[in-house]
Amino acid sequence: MRYSQLFGKTSKTAPKDEVAINAQLLIRGGFIDKEMSGVYSFLPLGLKVLAKIENIIREEMNKIGQEVFLPSLAPKDLWEKTGRINTVDVLFKAAPANTHSQVKNDAEYILNSTHEEIITPIAQKFNISYRDLPFAVYQIQTKFRNEPRSKSGLLRCREFRMKDLYSFDKSEEDLKKYYRIAKEAYGEVFARLGLKDLTYFVAASGGDFTSDFSHEFQVKCEAGEDTVYYDPETKEAFNKEIADKLAQKDKTYEIFKACEVGNIFPLYTKFSKAFGYEYIDEKGEKHPIYMGSYGIGPSRVMGVLVEVFHDEKGMVWPKQVAPFDVHLITLGEQHHKRAEEIIKQLESKGIDVLWDDREDVSAGQKFADCDLIGIPVRLVLSDKTLDKIEFKKRESHETKLISPEELDI
Amino acid sequence: MRYSQLFGKTSKTAPKDEVAINAQLLIRGGFIDKEMSGVYSFLPLGLKVLAKIENIIREEMNKIGQEVFLPSLAPKDLWEKTGRINTVDVLFKAAPANTHSQVKNDAEYILNSTHEEIITPIAQKFNISYRDLPFAVYQIQTKFRNEPRSKSGLLRCREFRMKDLYSFDKSEEDLKKYYRIAKEAYGEVFARLGLKDLTYFVAASGGDFTSDFSHEFQVKCEAGEDTVYYDPETKEAFNKEIADKLAQKDKTYEIFKACEVGNIFPLYTKFSKAFGYEYIDEKGEKHPIYMGSYGIGPSRVMGVLVEVFHDEKGMVWPKQVAPFDVHLITLGEQHHKRAEEIIKQLESKGIDVLWDDREDVSAGQKFADCDLIGIPVRLVLSDKTLDKIEFKKRESHETKLISPEELDI
C-alpha cells in the first residue's frame, strides 16, 4: 500500500478534548477519527489492527464455542422479563427519529448492551435435552452503551466492539469446569495479543450479574480506571471490593491501576430462570440450566495496546496486530523502482508493506510519521544506502545496512 | 463439524407469520432465528453463509476502494446539516432506555441508516488537495432502518448487513468514470455469487438521493418487491418510473418481479455542498467534490440466493457460499471410524465437512435434513455402500458409488 494513497493521514495534534494517550496517538497516526465523545470511526490503518485483534480472539473462541451473530435490536419484552430494562443504566432504546416514521411504525426497541436476553430464548428453542448440553456460543459485534463518561479514547466508548460468549451447563459443577476452560482460552488470547506479562486474573464481585465472585482480566496500565490488589506471595489478585472483604493483618498488596480487557461471570440460573429455560434429563425430569457469560472488548484491547506499547515518538505495535509488517521509506523518486522490487519480494512471502512514497514531504517528517504509526520494521532506501537497505526495528535505536537477500522479517 | 453438536437444528415448520420462502427455509434449516419482524439472529450455519458472501464482496471492493468501519451512532447535527433528519422516514434515533441513564446522559443520537453524513466530514478532514483525489472508501456493517413493512424474511429487514461504498471525484466526468468502474466490480460480485444470469442492471430514479438516473442491480425473483422492464432487443432494463418516462410505441418490454441486491447512485455535490467540502486545485482554487454512493446488502443477497436456488425439498447453495462443502451422512455407528478417516482426508484438502453423526434419527430424516440444508455434495456411508461411498450432488437425483480415492469435490 502506498502511503500517498492511504485514506487517513498523520497529524501533529489531536483534538484538544482528547486526554487519553491511546486516543491522541491513534488519531494523530490516522488510525481512528473521533466522531463524538465515546464514538470513533476506524480508518484503514485502525481497521487492520482491529481485524487482527478480532481474528486472534475468533481463533481461540472457535476452540471452545460456536460463532453466531445476534441482532442489536430487541423487543422490549425480553428485557422486561429479566427486569434489566430498569436496572442497566447504560441501556439505549431505538425509536423513530422523526414523525414520518412515527406515522408508520412508532414501536421502540432495546439496543442490546449485552445479549443474555437474546441468546437464552434461542438456546431454549433448540437445546432442551441433556444430550444437547453442555454448549457455548459467542459472537463478535458492535455494542451500544450510553456511558455517562467516555473520555478515555477506546477504553470506554458509547459504541464499541465486543466478543461475548455464553455457556450453558447441566450443573454448577459443569459450569465451573467450563469457567476454567474459558479462563485458559482467555489466557491464550491475551498471550497472543502480546499482553501475557501485563494481564492479571482478578477476583471481583459480579456487579449487576451475580452476587458471587466473578473474574476480570486486567492489564496493568496507568490509564486504567480500575485498581488491582496483587499479592506477590500467592500471585492472587483482587479488585478493591474483594481485597477489602479479605483484608488481613500482615498482608501487603501491590496496588496498581489497570484496565479491564475481559471478564468471566458465572450467571448461574439468573437468566435461565427468568425465561423458564430447563433441560430434560435421561428420566424425563426437568432441571435448571447453569449459564456463564464471558466478554472481551476488541476495540478496548486496541486502546490498551497503545497505552502499554508506546514511547515518546508514537505507537509500538506487537507484530501480530500491527497494521502492516514493514514500513518502507523511499527518499527520492530515483528509489521507487527498487522499492517496487523489494515490495514484490516481501509480498511474495506474505509480508505486508506500507510504502511511504510521498515526494512532497521531508525525510524528517517521514521518519517521524513512521515512528508515530509504529509498524515493527522500518526499511529505508536513499542515496546513502546505495544498493543496500537500511533496516531498523521500531523499538530499537540501531540501524543496519543489509542486502535485499538478507531481508528476513 | 458434527451435526449432533451444531448449535441450531432443523425443524419441520417455520413460524406461522413467515410467508417468505427464504425465511421459511432458512429458519427450518437452522440458519437463522427470528427475533421479531425484520430482525433475525444468524446461527452458525447462517453466519458461515453470510461471512462467505461478505468476503466475496470485500475481495472485489478492495480492488476499487479502501475498507473503513464507521460508527452507527451519530450526533444529530450531522443529519440536520443535510436536512435528512426530517426526510428519511426509516431513520431511528438512540435514546436512554430508562430514567437511570436520563439522569446522567439524556442526549439522543441518530442510528445511521446510510453513512454519507459520516464519511463526508471525515474525508473533508484528510483529502482536500487535488493530489488526494480521486478516492473511494467502503465498509461492511450492520444498518438500522425502521421499515414499516418487513415481511419478506432477509429481503427487507429493520436490522441488516450492508456494504456501502462512497466515491469522491474532482469532476462529474471523473465521477462517471468511477461509476463505470463500480458497475464492473458489482458485476463481478454478483457473478461470483452465482447470480450472473439472473442479475439485471436497471436504470432507476434516485429517490431520496438524486433527481438524476441511478442504477439498481436487480435479481429476477418472484419474491422481489420491484418490477423490472427489460428490453430484449437493446438488453436495457428500467424500473417502472423510467420505463413510463421512456414509453415508446412499438416497444415491448419483458416485465418481471425482481429483488434489488445492489445500487449505485451519483450523488453529485449534494453532500459535499451540505458540508462545504471542496478541494483545492493546482492553482489554489476551490472546486466542489463529486460523490457517488454504492450499496450491496449481504444479508439480503443471502435471502435472494435462497429464493432463486431452492426446490421443493430445500435450499440449493452455490458452492462458493455453501456453509460446508460436503454433507456426510453415516447410517449406523459402525461407520463412524470410516467417516472420521474420510473427513480427515477431505479436510487435509481444505474441504469443510458437516457430518450428520446422529444415532437417534432415521435415515429418512437425515436425507430430508440434508436436502433442506442444501450443501452441494452429499456423501453416505451405510451397510449398503460397503467399502465405497455413495456420492450425490444436491441438485441432481443421481447417486453413484465411488471409492475414497475417487473422491474429488
Q: Tens digit of pLDDT for each residue in B172-188?
A: 999 999 999 999 999 99
The CATH architecture one would assign to domain B324-406 is 3-Layer(aba) Sandwich (3.40)
Half-sphere exposure for B249 (CA within 13 Å, toward CB): 0
Residue B7 has pLDDT above 90, yes or no: yes
Task: Please tell me the distance in Å from B356's CA to the nearest CA on chain A.
Answer: 15
Residue B142 CA to residue A142 CA, distance in Å, equals 9
- What pLDDT digit, counting tens, does each position of B259-287 carry? 999 999 999 999 999 999 999 999 999 99
Q: In terms of CA atoms, which chain B residue is nearest residue A38?
A: B73
**What pLDDT, on the 0 to 100 scale, is given for residue B245?**
84
**What pLDDT, on the 0 to 100 scale, is given for residue B251?**
79
DSSP codes, B128-169? -BGGG-SEEEEEEEEEE---S---SGGGS-SEEEEEEEEEEE
**What pLDDT, on the 0 to 100 scale, is given for residue B224?**
94
Q: Across all residues in chain A, what is the average pLDDT?
A: 94
**Which residues fall within 8 angstroms of residue A205, CB to CB, at 6 or more apart?**
A211, A213, A214, A239, A241, A242
**Which residues fall within 8 angstroms of residue A98, CB to CB, at 6 or more apart?**
B85, B86, B88, B89, B91
| Among candidates B7, B73, B97 on the partner chain, residue whose Cβ is nearest the Cβ of A137 | B7
> What residues of chain B lie within 8 A of the CB of A120, using their CB?
none
Report the interhelical angle of A21-28 vs A298-308 (nearest 10°).
Answer: 90
Between chains, do A40 and B71 touch, taking CB under 8 Å as contact? yes
**What pLDDT, on the 0 to 100 scale, is given for residue B321?**
98
Let me know: does A261 contact A255? Beta carbons within 8 Å. no
Residue A214 CA to residue A208 CA, distance in Å, equals 11
Residue A321 CA to residue A319 CA, distance in Å, equals 6
Between chains, do B110 and A88 touch, taking CB under 8 Å as contact? no
With vertex at residue A270, the alpha carbon angle to CA A296 and CA A181, rounded to the nearest 5 degrees, is 40
Let me know: does B166 contact B268? Beta carbons within 8 Å. no
Q: Which residue carries 482528547 as its cell?
A: A18
DSSP B102: H
> What residues of chain A lie within 8 A of the CB of B147, using their CB?
105
Residue B100 has pLDDT above 90, yes or no: no
Residue A334 CA to residue A386 CA, distance in Å, equals 11
Chains A & B: contacts with CB separation below 8 Å: 199
* One-letter identity of residue A227: T
Residue B199 CA to residue B201 CA, distance in Å, equals 7
Residue B226 CA to residue A20 CA, distance in Å, equals 50
| Among candidates A71, A88, A104 on the partner chain, residue whose Cβ is nearest the Cβ of B35 | A71
Domain ranges of chain A: 18-311, 324-406
Let me know: does B112 contact B141? Beta carbons within 8 Å. no
**What pLDDT, on the 0 to 100 scale, is given for residue A15?**
84
Between chains, do A146 and B88 touch, taking CB under 8 Å as contact? no
Give kind and range of the element (H or E) at residue A252. none
Respond yes or no on whether the N-terminal peptide bond of residue B134 is cis (omega within 30° of 0). Answer: yes
Residue B366 has pLDDT above 80, yes or no: yes
**What pLDDT, on the 0 to 100 scale, is given for residue A13?**
87
- What pLDDT digit, counting tens, does each position of B104-117 carry? 677 899 999 999 99
- What pLDDT digit, counting tens, does each position of A394-405 carry? 999 999 999 988
Residue A340 CA to residue A362 CA, distance in Å, equals 21
**What pLDDT, on the 0 to 100 scale, is given for residue B150?**
81
Q: What are phi and psi of A271, to 5 degrees?
A: -85, -35
**What pLDDT, on the 0 to 100 scale, is given for residue A104?**
67
Q: In terms of CA atoms, which chain A residue is nearest residue B70?
A: A41
Question: How many helices (H) and strands (E) in chain A?
Answer: 11, 23
With vertex at residue B253, the alpha carbon angle to CA B252 and CA B254, rounded to the nearest 5 degrees, is 130
Percent pLDDT > 90 in chain A is: 86
- What pLDDT digit, counting tens, does each position of B371-398 carry? 999 999 999 999 999 899 999 999 999 9
Task: Please tell me the distance in Å from B101's CA to the nearest CA on chain A.
Answer: 5
Q: Across all residues in chain B, what is the average pLDDT?
A: 94
Nearest to B298 by CA among B120, B79, B51, B121: B51
Between chains, do B7 and A127 touch, taking CB under 8 Å as contact? yes
Let me know: does B12 contact B24? Beta carbons within 8 Å. no
Question: How many helices (H) and strands (E) in chain B?
Answer: 11, 23
Residue B102 has pLDDT above 70, yes or no: no
Task: Please tell me the distance in Å from B72's CA to the nearest CA on chain A.
Answer: 8
Using DSSP's 3-state secondary structure scheme, residue B196 falls into: helix
**What pLDDT, on the 0 to 100 scale, is given for residue B180?**
95
First vs last C-alpha separation in chain A: 17
pLDDT band, residue B13 (cuts 50/70/90)? confident
With vertex at residue B113, the alpha carbon angle to CA B125 and CA B225, rounded to the nearest 5 degrees, is 140
CATH no. for A18-311: 3.30.930.10
Cell matching residue A359: 515526494
Residue A148 CA to residue A141 CA, distance in Å, equals 21
> What residues of chain A lie within 8 A of the CB of B144, using their CB?
72-73, 94
Between chains, do B36 and A144 touch, taking CB under 8 Å as contact? no
Nearest to B267 by CA among B180, B181, B201, B209: B209
Cell matching residue A71: 441482532
Residue A103 has pLDDT above 70, yes or no: no
Using DSSP's 3-state secondary structure scheme, residue B262 falls into: strand
Task: Please tell me the distance in Å from B47's CA to the nearest CA on chain A.
Answer: 6
Q: In terms of CA atoms, which chain B residue is nearest residue A119?
A: B41
Between chains, do B33 and A125 touch, taking CB under 8 Å as contact? yes
Domains B15-311 and B324-406 share a fold: no
Using DSSP's 3-state secondary structure scheme, residue B189 falls into: helix
Between chains, do B96 and A91 touch, taking CB under 8 Å as contact? yes
Task: Please tell me the distance in Å from A253's CA to the nearest CA on chain B.
Answer: 34
Residues A16-31: what's their mean pLDDT?
95
> What residues of chain B lie within 8 A of the CB of A111, using their CB?
94, 97, 111
Between chains, do A35 and B75 touch, taking CB under 8 Å as contact? yes
Q: In terms of CA atoms, which chain B residue is nearest residue A78?
A: B35
> What residues of chain B lie within 8 A of the CB of A46, using their CB?
69
**What pLDDT, on the 0 to 100 scale, is given for residue B358?**
97
pLDDT band, residue A246 (cuts 50/70/90)? confident
Let me know: does B292 contact B251? Beta carbons within 8 Å. no
Residue B55 CA to residue B52 CA, distance in Å, equals 5
Residues A69-88: what's their mean pLDDT?
96
Task: Please tell me the distance in Å from A405's CA to the nearest CA on chain B.
Answer: 30
Residue B179 CA to residue B265 CA, distance in Å, equals 8
**What pLDDT, on the 0 to 100 scale, is given for residue B209?**
46
- Sign of the torsion formed by the C-alpha atoms of B249, B250, B255 and B260: negative
Q: In terms of CA atoms, which chain B residue is nearest residue A62?
A: B44
Residues A279-306: what's their mean pLDDT?
98
Between chains, do B33 and A127 touch, taking CB under 8 Å as contact? no
Between chains, do A92 and B91 touch, taking CB under 8 Å as contact? no
* CA diameter of chain B: 82
**What pLDDT, on the 0 to 100 scale, is given for residue A211?**
53
Cell matching residue B52: 462467505
Nearest to B94 by CA among A312, A73, A28, A282: A73
ipTM of the complex in this document: 0.96
pLDDT band, residue B103 (cuts 50/70/90)? low
Task: Please tell me the distance in Å from A278's CA to the nearest CA on chain B.
Answer: 17
Mutation target among B68, B88, B125, B354 for the A interface, most CBs of A within 10 A: B68
- Cα–chain center distance at A242: 26
Pairing state between β A236-239 and A199-205: parallel
Between chains, do B105 and A147 touch, taking CB under 8 Å as contact? yes
3-state helix, strand, coil in chain A (%, to 5): 35, 30, 35
Residue A206 has pLDDT above 80, yes or no: no
- What pLDDT digit, counting tens, does each position of A306-358 carry? 999 999 999 999 999 999 999 999 999 999 999 999 999 999 999 999 999 99
A194 φψ region: left (φ > 0), alpha (ψ -120 to 50), beta (else): left
Exposed, middle or buried, B211 (CB in 10 Å: 0-12/13-18/19+)? Answer: exposed
Cell matching residue B381: 456411508
Residue A396 CA to residue A398 CA, distance in Å, equals 6
Respond yes or no on whether the N-terminal peptide bond of residue A134 is cis (omega within 30° of 0). Answer: yes
Residue B299 has pLDDT above 90, yes or no: yes
DSSP codes, B365-380? HHHHHHHHHT-SEEEE
Percent pLDDT > 90 in chain B is: 86
**What pLDDT, on the 0 to 100 scale, is given for residue A209?**
46
Task: Please tell me the distance in Å from A105's CA to the nearest CA on chain B.
Answer: 6
Q: Which residue carries 509498524 as its cell?
A: A375
| Among candidates A9, A87, A118 on the partner chain, residue whose Cβ is nearest the Cβ of B126 | A9
Residues A72-87: what's their mean pLDDT?
96
**What pLDDT, on the 0 to 100 scale, is given for residue A245?**
84
> What residues of chain A lie within 8 A of the CB of B135, using their CB?
5, 7
The CATH class that applies to domain B15-311 reads: alpha beta
Between chains, do B93 and A96 touch, taking CB under 8 Å as contact? yes
Task: Please tell me the distance in Å from B31's CA to the nearest CA on chain A.
Answer: 10
Give kind and range of the element (H or E) at residue A187. helix A172-192
Mutation target among B92, B128, B140, B145 for the A interface, most CBs of A within 10 A: B92
Cell matching residue A372: 508515530
Between chains, do A98 and B89 touch, taking CB under 8 Å as contact? yes
Q: Quick count: other Cβ atoms within 10 Å of Cβ A349?
A: 10
Q: How far is CA B288 from CA A74, B168, B244, B279, B378, in A?
A: 42, 10, 33, 7, 57
Task: Please tell me the distance in Å from A67's CA to the nearest CA on chain B.
Answer: 6
Let me know: does B259 contact B225? Beta carbons within 8 Å. yes
Between chains, do A97 and B74 touch, taking CB under 8 Å as contact? no
| Among candidates B5, B41, B137 on the partner chain, residue whose Cβ is nearest the Cβ of A69 | B41
pLDDT band, residue A102 (cuts 50/70/90)? low
